[in-house]
Amino acid sequence: MRNILDFLYRFRFFLLFITLEAISIVLVVRNNGYQQSIVLTATSRFTGRIQQSYERVMSYFSLRYTNEALMAENALLRAQLRNAFFEDSRTMFYQEDSMFMQRFTYLPADVIRNTASRRNNYIVIDRGRKHGVEKNMGVFTSDGVVGIIRSVSDHYASALSVLHNDVRISSKIKRNGYVGTFRWEGGDVSRGWMTEVPGHVDLQAGDTIVTSGYSLIFPAGIPVGTIEDFELKEDEHFYKIRIKIAVDFRRMDHVYVVKDLMRNEFKELKEPVNE
């Protein structure tokens, strides 16, 4: 017994080191499973409040940019109002309710925590379970796709940013509709890659890439980025396309969370195929 205590005492520095490292690693691993703990740690009551007041101050600095973005969006929405259209077919408007069913709903939210400097980046927003946010909902701004909700607490939710190893966005080339997969591969936060576009497709630098709508997360047509460059290796059948990401992840204040009201219906259709 004495010897054991002696041993413990002699190596107390090392043992304490091992203990503290073990605690840290457990925290890392638990966090890497990115389930609840991201929200719990990033938005625990104390740090959450400090972050929020920080964001409140910092949001003033991007007011100009935010205003421009809102103006642009207002203009876009105005163009979709009924009075912006020439009423060509009178019957159409009267049948609107029974012809069109709401599929997507949108919830505005403020970003209270956003990283862009890591290999795997997250966004925390100030809307959570109480506001109807659920796992796997899409997040975007008026500029384009931002991320996918990963975990939700009562008042906050955290999303995997597009700048995350595990995020792939099913997207298509707006001009001709060919579908591929968009993914960020580290490094520059404004460049990503699109793959799985077959080699016979006609591509042009500057083509817009939008979401395909196949994923049950985003509606079709939300901007992802624009083609900057592409190459087709000799013995390969698919392009490797360099994309300039539409969203500037270094300044982001207001986002929308999109909910697909028919998600469950689609999932029911999909499930038997998977089995």
The strand pair at 104-114 and 122-125 is best described as antiparallel
For other proteins, which is the closer residue by CB, 12 or 78?
Answer: 12
For other proteins, which is the closer residue by CB, 54 or 85?
Answer: 54
Q: How far is the CB of 58 from other proteins (least distance, A)?
A: 8
Name the residue with tokens 């270094």: 250
- Residue 206 φ/ψ region, left for φ over 0, alpha for ψ in the -120 to 50 degree band, beta for the rest: left
Write the DSSP assignment of the chain as a string of letters.
Answer: -HHHHHHHHHTHHHHHHHHHHHHHHHHHHHHHTTSSHHHHHHT-HHHHHHHHHHHHHHGGGGHHHHHHHHHHHHHHHHHHSGGGS----HHHHHTHHHH----EEEEEEEEEEE--SSSS-EEEES--GGGT--TT-EEE-SSSEEEEEEEE-SS-EEEEESSSTT-EEEEEETTT--EEEEE--SS-TTEEEEE--BTTS---TT-EEEE-S-SSSS-TT-EEEEEEEEE--TT-SB-EEEEEESS-TTS--EEEEEEETTHHHHHHHHHHHH-
For other proteins, which is the closer residue by CB, 156 or 218?
Answer: 156
For other proteins, which is the closer residue by CB, 187 or 272?
Answer: 187
Q: How far is the CB of 17 from other proteins (least distance, A)?
A: 4
Q: How far is the CB of 96 from other proteins (least distance, A)?
A: 44
Q: How far is the CB of 124 from other proteins (least distance, A)?
A: 7
For other proteins, which is the closer residue by CB, 120 or 226?
Answer: 120
For other proteins, which is the closer residue by CB, 213 or 225?
Answer: 225
Q: How far is the CB of 13 from other proteins (least distance, A)?
A: 4
Q: How far is the CB of 39 from other proteins (least distance, A)?
A: 8
Q: How far is the CB of 200 from other proteins (least distance, A)?
A: 32
Per CB under 8 A, residues contacting other proteins are: 12-13, 16-17, 20-21, 23-32, 37-38, 41-44, 47, 50-51, 54, 58, 113, 115-120, 122, 124, 158, 186-189, 250
For other proteins, which is the closer residue by CB, 124 or 203?
Answer: 124
